[in-house]
Chain A
Amino acid sequence: QLQLQESGPGLVKPSETLSLTCTVSGGSISSSSYYWAWIRQPPGKGLEWIGIIYYGGTTYYNPSLKSRVTISVDTSKNQFSLKVTSVTAADTAVYYCARRLLAAAPPGHWYFDLWGRGTLVTVSS
Chain B
Amino acid sequence: DIQMTQSPSSLSASVGDRVTITCRASQGISNYLAWFQQKPGKAPKSLIYAASSLQSGVPSKFSGSGSGTDFTLTISSLQPEDLATYYCQQYKSYPLTFGGGTKVEIK
Which segment of B19-27, B39-47, B73-81 sits at the interface? B39-47
Main secondary structure of the interface of B (DSSP, over half): loop
B87 touches A (CB below 8 Å): yes
B104 touches A (CB below 8 Å): no
B72 touches A (CB below 8 Å): no
CB of A110 within 8 A of CB of B43, answer no
B7 touches A (CB below 8 Å): no
Please name the residue on chain A nearest to B87 by beta carbon: A47
CB of B44 within 8 A of CB of A113, answer no
User: What's the tally of chain B residues with a CB closer than 8 Å to chain A?
Assistant: 25
| Across-interface contacts of A96 in B (CB, < 8 A) | 43-44
Q: How many A-B residue pairs have CB under 8 A?
A: 64
| Across-interface contacts of B44 in A (CB, < 8 A) | 47, 96, 112, 115
| Known A-B contacts A46-B101, A49-B95, A60-B94; A113 and B50 likewise in contact (beta carbons under 8 Å) | no
A62 touches B (CB below 8 Å): yes
Per-residue CB contact flags for chain A residues 75-106 toward chain B (1 = under 8 Å, else 0) read 00000000000000000000010001001011
8 Å CB interface, B39-92 against A: 42-46, 49-50, 53, 55, 87, 89, 91
Among A47, A48, A62, A100, chain B packs the most CB atoms within 10 A around the CB of: A47
Known: A103-B49, A103-B50, A115-B44. 18 other contacts (CB 8 A): A46-B98, A46-B101, A47-B98, A49-B98, A52-B96, A62-B95, A63-B95, A96-B43, A96-B44, A106-B53, A109-B32, A109-B53, A111-B46, A111-B50, A112-B36, A112-B89, A114-B46, A117-B42
